[in-house]
Amino acid sequence: MAEQPKATTVERRPDPNEKLVKVFDSEQETEALVVKGLLDSANIENDLASASLLQDAFPGMGGMIILVREEDAEKARSTIAEYRQGPAAVSIADEQDDDSTEELQAKE
């Protein structure tokens, strides 16, 4: 009986020969890593690169950029936009809950 190869985790990245589009840039590497993880979890293949290495393609940029296939750009931007709106909405809901709790405690 032949032994089956072990499953390995392979980082999915777009083919560099395809047309890639910048969907995100940040001066902060940690922020770029969070967005990369967000896109990975949405099954959008992406590539995180230092913008300083890509000065010919994107002049005047520093920090980190995320590139995706042209056909995935709209979905990636939408995913990033939804994520950016999420924490603000949660913060507002938390503040309203805190206010309600304080009002209940004051009445008691």
Taking 80 as the threshold, does the pLDDT of residue 11 lie above it?
A: no
92 in a structural domain: yes
Taking 70 as the threshold, does the pLDDT of residue 61 lie above it?
A: no
Per-residue HEC secondary structure of the chain comes to CCCCCCCCCCCCCCCCCCCEEEEEEECCHHHHHHHHHHHHHCCCCEEEEEHHHHCCCCCCCCCEEEEEEHHHHHHHHHHHHHHHHHHHHHHHHHHHHHHHHHHHHHHC
Range(s) of the domain holding residue 38: 20-107
Q: How many structural domains does the chain have?
A: 1
91 in a structural domain: yes
pLDDT tens sequence across 67-101 = 999 999 999 999 999 988 875 545 544 555 555 44
**How far apart, in whole angstroms, are the C-alpha atoms of residue 21 and residue 54?**
12
Strand order in the sheet with 20-26: 20-26, 64-69, 46-50
**Are the C-beta atoms of 35 and 80 separated by less than 8 Å?**
yes
15 in a structural domain: no
Q: Give the CATH number of the domain where residue 59 resides.
A: 3.30.70
74 in a structural domain: yes
